[in-house]
Every structure is written in structure tokens, then in C-alpha cells.
Amino acid sequence: MTDPVKSIESLYERAADYGKTSYELLKLKALDKTSDAVSSIVPHTFVIILIATFMLFLNLGLAFLLGEILGRIYFGFFVVAGFYGITGIIIHFFMHKWIKKHFRDYFIQKTLK
């Protein structure tokens, strides 16, 4: 029959190896989830920057055009700013929960993938 002390030592070593392996697996899974989330955010950020630059120059052109039509350049900027102010208020009061839910669900989906 085997020595009980050696059996316990062997069992302890196996448990320690299992714990280390489980810990390493957990770290690798976390790294995989993090890298997947970051790698999906980077292209989205690049596209958002391009769209924001496009919108900036479009809005500047529109503000100058409206300013010439209204007789004073700064009137065009007031009109464009007013449009964005009203749009921001509408989005804040009517679409805030929808936007928050959409981003939360997207983040959870990417994390659990």
C-alpha cells in the first residue's frame, strides 16, 4: 500500500499545479477579451475622428454661407450653434436612455464574446 504522506503530498502538488494553470488560463482569457475590445474600439475611433473632421468643415462652410445670406457672418454661426443646441436638448431628453442602453449592450456583447 502507498504511503499516506506521499499521497497527500502528490495530491497537494497536483492541486497547486491545477491552481496555477487555472490562474494562467484566467489571465489569458482576460487578455483575449481586453485585446478584442480594444481592437474593435481603435477602428471605430478612427472613423469617428474622420466623421468629426468632415462635420467640422461642413458646419464651418454652412455657417459662412448662412452668414453671407443673412448679411453678417456671425449670424450664420449663431444659426448653426442654435441648431446643435436644440438637437442636443432633444437627444438629451428623448434619446438619452436609448443611447446609453445601446452602448452598454455593445460593450457587454464585446466583453462576453
Structural domain contains residue 3 = no
Predicted confidence band at 107 (pLDDT cuts at 50, 70, 90)?
A: confident
Domains: count for the chain: 1
Q: What is the structure's pLDDT at 66? A: 95
Domain-located, residue 24: no
pLDDT at 113: 67
Most confident of 33-37, 58-62, 102-106: 58-62
52: which residues sit within 8 A by CB, 6+ positions away?
A: none
**Using one digit for the tens of pLDDT, what is the confidence trace for 18-27?**
999 999 999 9
The reply to whether 27 falls in a domain is: no
DSSP class of 2: -
Domain interval for residue 39: 34-112
In a domain, 95, yes or no: yes
Is 50 within a domain? Answer: yes
**Measured distance CA(83)–CA(79) in Å, rounded:** 6
Whether 16 maps to a domain, the answer reads: no
pLDDT average, residue stretch 94-100: 83
